[in-house]
Structure 1
Amino acid sequence: MWSAQAHMPTVLAGSQTVIVKGDGAYIVTADGQRLLDAAGGLWYANVGHGREEIAEAAAAQLRTLETWHIFGRYANQPALDLANKIATLAPFEDAKVIFTSGGSDSVDMALKLARRHWQLQGQPEKLTVVSRNDSYHGLHAYGTSVAGLSFNRDGFGPGTLIPETLLIDQWDIEAAERTIRAHGGEKIAALITEPVMGVGGVVPPPAGYFERIKELAKEFGFLIIADEVVTAFGRLGTWTASERFNLEPDMITFAKGITSGYLPLGGVIVAPSVSRQFYEGADAPILHQGLTYSGHATVAAVGLKNLEIIEREGLLAHVRDLEPILAEELEGLRSHPGVKAVRHIGLMGGVDLADDVAGLAVVAELERHGVHLRNLPNNILQISPPFIITENELRLIVGSIRAALDTVLAS
């Protein structure tokens, strides 16, 4: 197996950790170590691991109909039911749902749809997609091209795979606005943004940032796409981060949290500002999109069960209850000599490590304390545990970070 985002000689030299079991907020390695999953896998384990009722939902659907495609006039009932459910959770009325197989697919679909929209509107010059420095939008050709993290976009030849892209400052809205105006805002098809930047370091929006973005979108007539592959379905204590920030997007991409990682699923929630032209009139155009496994019946059944669990167990409220606990604990780390900065919102936290602290060494030490965390590319610890985590376990995570830092600094 060629591991993802991995230096393979290091992996082959014996650094690989094999996870063999998951149970609630915990995972177990092949050598029997039980670890608190403080990263929620890759941001996805919202309802925790090993949910028997999700396994049963998948098995029941497999016995009935493993899947049927949703091309043309065909559909399957779980896909219809899940799309209808997602539409009720969207932050705008009359939402339409395009299913994909994951987050990168969803970004690719949304950005293609943005360009298709403006071609149909008779504005073919609107081709550019704007994204933010240090952003992450998956690794398909479009996601790679709009990536704000240089290591994901470099190395594939000169320029970007898709040329009509533009990066703006992620902190300074005035600098971002200058870049948009200098480029020619009338040529912009869409701005894609993570409401809270994930891989880029768990970065909430600076005050006033999105408010000005919305004003610029109205001035120049470009679409706003909220990349909520990480944040949708509860990570901030609301069904979408767009709702929390009043972002008013034209499209929302989603994945991870829709199934809590139990099966691969993604999609795009589309507002009437874009979808209406495809739904009205005998001469309405066809959007030529579709993946073999988009709307997969068994995956959709799992998504429905996952959303049922989130609602039944009141997990959004639980996230909101835990948010001030995580904030309090992380603020206590701010003065630690091994820490440059901390950020937090919802059940997401980022700890910027000091320049002389090796993040991988901290992660290894944390595992000796029984806690699994990820070290993000900019030497930032990612905290995004399952929603079912307890207050004591949340305090354990941050206390273990402190202890691990003390050990690494003393060595």
Structure 2
Amino acid sequence: MADPSTSPPLTRASVQEARELIRPFVHQTPVMTSSSLSALVSERITGGGGGGGKGGEGGTKKKRPKVRLWFKCENFQKVGAFKARGAFHAIERLKKEPGWWGEGGKWERGVVTHSSGNHAQALALAARANNIPAHIVMPSISAAPKIAATKGYGARVVFSGSTSVEREAVTAQVVRDTGARLVPPYDHPDIILGQGTLGLEFQEQVEGMMREGGAYGFGGGGRKGKKKRNKGLDVILAPCGGGGMLSGVALSCADTGILVFGTEPSFQGADDAKRAYQSPEGARIPAVSSLTIADGLRTPVGAHPWSVIYERRLVAGFYSVTDAQIRRALRLVYERMKIVVEPSAAVPLAVALYDGEFGEWLEREVGGDDEEEGDGEGEGLDVGIVFSGGNVSLEALGKLFAEEEEEEEGS
């Protein structure tokens, strides 16, 4: 990997530069809305969903706030996940390094990484696009479609144990054996800046949709007692595993007034970032061992992301949800939005729907019945949800939902 000291500074301007660098290689993914899911979240606020009548449809119009959800669909990104952004940015940065290219215009020793699947596929694709060999270390329990897709991009797959310690040990051995350059999945400034480009797109797309009349009929309201400078998002909820995407999104929102929250699964201590963030010392937790269904979020947050998330306080806080809540949110996405997302991608929506602490935060920020505020049209919050990926097999989905039904029957 490129020496972090040679990377651009971790700023919003650097995210903008990264966007231009990777523009030819990645998709601008769509932003979608859902009135029914927005209504479900709005019902958490004292006084109901707002807009008039039950669920916000029909009846007498009332001056009640409402939560409007906007979904950034990185499940439609190349390789089916946001990871393509960081991988292409890392490769493009490496190509600018003096002496990078060997004889014949090729880096013979290749690149290497460790990943449960999405970064694996992303680096394999970026390497193939540049005629660079790729060695990918994957846990043996990785989803079969992710393994197959990684091999399909021409990468050599080397299997390891499921913990970050086991992955990193095998990766170090591959480096010794091949001389390949490490492209880590999240803990590097070049990765962070690449992932952050989705945040810039998200902001611009929602602002544009609001200018055109808004998917919800009008454009933005704002947090209670705070007037919005521009129409657009008030909040973004993003998943957090290693923290590369979360910290990148936080950089993209710096000085915009948009609050960014991290979301995690709580199963078997997978909510390491939340626990560290809320601890008196604020010390990063370096290891996680969890088999949460949100397999993309089983890694501990990295040092470089933590410097943005905690030390610079560009992330406003963390929330976590159970695996059962993730399953429920996942089912709602399939039933209400008709799109394919993986369990990790459903974590932010699960927080919006079910986490008690986030529900309390919503009540404080938007309040209940407040006849003094607003005209009943632009009130409430515009909340961005990052759908981080859609790499999940039909067999895995069937098993997940079967387990959900068993839990309901046993409750």
Shared fold per TM-score greater than 0.5: no
More helix by share: 2
So what's the TM-score if we normalise by structure 2? 0.34
So what's the TM-score if we normalise by structure 1? 0.34
